[in-house]
Amino acid sequence: MTHLATRGSLQLTRSELATLRRLSSPQKIQLFLNAIPANHEEHGETVLSVREVLRQRRAHCIEGAFVAACALWLAGEPPLVMHMDCTDGDYPHVLALFRRTGAWGAISKTNGWALRFRDPVYRTLRELAMSYFHEYADRLGRKTLRSHSAAFDLRRIDPGLWITQGRPCREVDARLAALRHYPLLAPRQERLLTRRDAFERQAAATVEYPRTGHAPPCAGTASRGVSKVTRRTS
What residue ranges do the domains of the chain occupy? 7-224
| Closest C-alpha among 79, 181, 87 to residue 133 | 87
Confidence of residue 5 (pLDDT cuts 50, 70, 90): confident
Q: What is the mean pLDDT of residues 44-61?
A: 97
Residue 104 has pLDDT above 80, yes or no: yes
Confidence of residue 225 (pLDDT cuts 50, 70, 90): low
Residue 180 has pLDDT above 80, yes or no: yes
Cα dist. 224→54, 102, 122, 141 in Å? 20, 28, 22, 14
| Closest C-alpha among 61, 53, 96 to residue 75 | 96
**pLDDT tens digits for range 191-219:** 999 999 999 999 999 999 998 754 333 23
Rounded Cα distance, 74 and 45, in Å: 28
| Enclosing H/E stretch for 129 | helix 125-130
**pLDDT tens digits for range 148-157:** 999 999 999 9
